[in-house]
Amino acid sequence: MDIWNKRHVTVVISGGIASYKALLLIRQLMKRGATVRVAMTAHAAEFVTPLTFQTLTQQPVVLDEFTATDPKYVVHVALADWTETMIMVPATANLIAKVANGIADDAATTTILATTAPKFVIPAMNSHMYANPAAQRNLNQLVADGLHVLTPATGMLAEGYSGKGRLPEPDVIIDWLTDQLTQLTPNLPLAHQHVLVTAGGTREAIDPVRYISNRSSGKMGYAVAQVAREMGADVTLISATDQLPVPVGVHLVKVASAAELLTAVNAAFPTTNLLVMAAAVSDYRPVQSADQKIKKPADHGDLTLQLTETPDILKQLAPQKTSQYVVGFAAETQHLLTNAQRKLTQKRLDLLVANDVSKPGVGFNGDTNQVTLLRPNQEPVKTALLSKIEIARTILTTAVAGGAVKA
């Protein structure tokens, strides 16, 4: 179910040039099932009228608590108690300063102070205002007080020059909010776990412009990283591709060759709880990578490339394994189970995901996959043809059930 469904969300709008963008965000929240109420500062009402927000949300807008007409309610307390999630967007330097200091001098800031709901702050301001030490001090104070603060985007500002301070696009804000909110869900299966995922096909340089690689798109590894994050993990994704959007909340480490991937995995492995090696690591690389582009010989003769084996990462990691749960992948075109079973044992894996990449809809590039899960001393389990996200969920759930999370 969507995390926004039926959620009581209060959006506080302060007086910035990006106030109108709050309308787009509110529409998206409502589309996802949230009930949204708006509180505005007096200066925000100079930019967009309360009537616009009232019409959009079909709820009264809180602007001034001293002219309230219903004697049964104190406006800011009623709204604060109703709120399950509070979003300040755009948050002006002024609003941030007030919240950091507990100032409550209008309906919006009083509601912020009065609510116990998780609070999300989306600053937007001129780049010099954002860089000002006072603004930075206030933002740090918000983080120290447990509020969640989104870093502004860098780009063209309303002032006509470029800098850091722009309100990120509504899609970026929604993805960030959804990730932050998900991480606050109690009892996520991978909470407090460090999950390391590798993805994509490595590239082994022949010369500065050419390389040897494979057909792996990285989609399976990216799906594992996304689902691991949704399950509450602290996820590092070591990626040999830059063609895919990085899942929100996931730390990215970019690599190209098998050797770079090995270095990155080695660095992270000691503090990893669960490693999922979904990258398609080249088995061979050119013995020499030429410094300059290789030219065609004058006689147009054949060119012979001499290849040498790349390091076998899983084999190298096996002796270093302490409490880590290690998941490997085997892409085969024949003798799937025999080859996979051998790999499971030889590389001391806890789980091996085998797929027959010769079948349509399976393995490289597509959005679907069908795999067989092998674990030591257990019968192999074959999945249906599923989306890569669903396959990722199956892999991680199997890992959790198999003891990936130590008590």
Residue ranges in contact with ligand FMN by CB under 6 A: 14-18, 41, 43-44, 92-95, 124-125, 129
For the record, the structure tokens of 164 come out as 């850091």
CB of 41 to ligand FMN, least distance (A): 3
The reply to whether 296 sits in an annotated binding site is no
Instruction: For residue 138, indicate whether it is catalytic.
Output: no
Catalytic residue among 132, 214, 266, 339: 214
Contacts of 277 (CB under 8 A, 6+ apart): 198, 265, 313, 314, 326, 327, 328, 329
* Residue 329 identity (one-letter amino acid): F
**Closer residue to ligand FMN, CB minimum distance, 41 or 394:** 41
* Residue 313 counted as an annotated binding residue: yes
Instruction: Between 62 and 395, name the residue whose CB sits nearer to ligand FMN.
Output: 62
Q: How far is the CB of 26 from ligand FMN (least distance, A)?
A: 17
Query: Tokens in use for 343?
Result: 């790999």
| Cα gap 332→339, rounded to integer Å | 8
Minimum separation from the CB atom of position 163 to ligand FMN (A): 12
Reference 211, options 199, 198, 201, 223; nearest CA is: 201
How near is the Cβ of 253 to ligand FMN at its closest, in Å? 34
329 among annotated binding-site residues: yes
- In the chain, how many H helices and how many E strands? 14, 21
The number of beta carbons lying within 10 Å of the beta carbon of residue 172 is: 14
Please check if 120 is assigned to a binding site.
no
- Closest to ligand FMN by CB, 44 vs 224, is 44
For residue 85, the minimal CB distance to ligand FMN (Å) is 21
State yes or no: 343 annotated in a binding site.
yes
* Minimal distance, residue 152 CB to ligand FMN, in Å: 10
Residue 273's contacts (CB-CB under 8 Å, 6 or more residues apart) are: 193, 194, 195, 323, 324, 325, 404, 405, 406
The SS3 call for residue 329 is strand
Task: Please tell me whether 247 is known to bind a ligand.
Answer: no
Q: Which is nearer to ligand FMN, 18 or 275 (CB)?
A: 18
Rounded Cα distance between 224 and 123, Å, is 31
Q: What Cα–Cα distance (Å) separates residue 254 from each residue in 48, 200, 242? A: 42, 10, 8
Q: Quote the CA–CA distance of 17 and 91 in Å, as a whole number.
A: 11
179 in a known ligand binding site: no
Q: Closest CB to ligand FMN among 88 and 349?
A: 88
Long-range CB pairs of 357-366, under 8 A, 24+ apart, other chains included: 357/331, 357/332, 357/333, 358/333, 358/334, 361/385, 363/331, 364/214, 364/215, 364/216, 364/217, 364/280, 364/331, 365/215, 365/216, 365/217, 365/219, 366/219
Q: Is residue 314 annotated as involved in ligand binding?
A: yes
Pick from 19, 175, 160: nearest CA to 88: 19
Q: Which is nearer to ligand FMN, 48 or 279 (CB)?
A: 48
Which parts are annotated binding residues? 283, 293, 311-314, 329, 343, 347
Catalytically active residues are: 214
Which parts are annotated binding residues for CTP? 283, 293, 311-314, 329, 343, 347
